[in-house]
Amino acid sequence: MSTDGTGRVELYFLRHADAGDPLAWNGPDEDRPLSGKGERQAERVARLLGAIAARPDAVISSPKLRAFQTARIVAAEIGVEVVISDRLATGLDVASLDALVEEAGYPARPLLVGHDPDFSATVSTLVGGDVLVRKGALVRVDADIPLTTGGGELHWLIPPDALKPR
């Protein structure tokens, strides 16, 4: 990836892991933490990303607690610092994703940790098809920069239950 905003990028989308029932949470939504199940899901994704040769070179997270906790678990495994971006909190689309990648300095393999319906909609728009990103799912989309509608290629989508617990 060049620093002028051209080239190819491997986008990793990780929807925050399980945070329990939002209707059972009494505090502000942005403070809703991961459940024990969610922590285990994040640890499994972290082990997977730590084992691949072309691991993410940046971790960018929504400021919401459940996303940040997910990002922190993964970042610790792959040895990358977590950067917070309000763009991942709500309203993510292809244009704001392109701006986020630019603001991050055009990393070659950024891991984005955020929420739905934004991730499902943005991934679907990037690849030109319907993609559902479940809680704890990891998606890889390769695309040219600048990002465009239909300009991405879905390489894989790993649902959270595909990774075996230890």
Q: Give pLDDT tens digits along the chain (166 positions).
A: 555 677 999 999 999 999 989 999 999 999 999 999 999 999 999 999 999 988 999 999 999 999 999 999 999 999 999 999 999 999 999 999 999 999 999 999 999 999 999 999 999 999 999 999 999 999 999 999 999 999 999 999 999 889 877 6
| Cβ neighbours of residue 89 closer than 8 Å, sequence gap 6 or more | 30, 62, 63, 64, 114, 115
Q: Is the peptide bond before 117 cis (omega within 30 degrees of 0)?
A: yes
| Count of the separate structural domains present in the chain | 1
Alpha-carbon distance of 80 to 70, in angstroms, equals: 13
Q: Is the dihedral angle over the CA atoms 162, 12, 39, 50 positive or is it negative?
A: positive
For 160, which DSSP code?
G
CATH code: domain of residue 28? 3.40.50.1240
Sheet strands (E) in 2-132 = 7-15, 58-61, 82-84, 110-114
Q: Is the peptide bond before 22 cis (omega within 30 degrees of 0)?
A: no
Alpha-carbon distance of 119 to 32, in angstroms, equals: 19
For 35, which DSSP code?
P
In a domain, 1, yes or no: no
DSSP letter for each residue of 93-130: -HHHHHHHHHHTT--SSEEEEE-TTHHHHHHHHHHTS-
In a domain, 25, yes or no: yes
Global pTM reads: 0.95
In a domain, 2, yes or no: no
Alpha-carbon distance of 55 to 66, in angstroms, equals: 22
Identity of residue 102: E
β-pair partners for 82: 59
